[in-house]
């Protein structure tokens, strides 16, 4: 019998969330990042451009945004990943 392991963790700013899901009888796991369009687009275009430019100058990968998780969401996401991997929590 298959069941779904699912965890949704929201960014502390309220603009983004991560959704992790895995069916126990499937080898693949899925992680989606969602963005609240209204709040996330309130930054200026110049600020977003400068952030991307600074990342490129430093040789970093393209940075779209950063998701900041609360301690509880971090623990919940960790537990969902451990369960999906078939491991035991320590």
> Do 28 and 84 contact (CB within 8 A), yes or no?
no
Q: What is the pLDDT of residue 41?
A: 62
d(CA 3, CA 28): 14
Checking if the pLDDT of 5 tops 80, the result is yes
- Predicted structure pTM score: 0.55
pLDDT digits (tens, 9 = 90+) for 11-31: 777 777 888 888 888 878 888
The ranges assigned to domains in the chain are 4-85
Distance of alpha carbon 5 from alpha carbon 79, whole angstroms: 10
Q: Read off the pLDDT of residues 27-86 as tens digits, 9 standing for 90 and up.
A: 788 888 887 766 556 666 777 777 767 777 877 655 555 677 788 888 988 998 898 888
Provide the pLDDT confidence category of residue 1 given band limits of 50, 70 and 90.
confident
């Amino acid at each position: 019998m298959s069941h779904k392991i699912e965890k949704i963790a929201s960014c502390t700013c309220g603009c983004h969330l991560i959704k992790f899901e895995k069916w126990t009888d499937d080898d693949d796991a899925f992680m989606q990042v969602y963005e609240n369009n209204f709040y996330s687009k309130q930054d200026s275009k110049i600020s977003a451009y400068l952030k991307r430019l600074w990342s490129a100058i430093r040789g970093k990968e393209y940075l779209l945004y950063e998701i900041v998780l609360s301690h509880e969401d971090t623990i919940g996401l960790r537990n969902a990943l451990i369960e999906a991997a078939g491991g035991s929590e320590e």
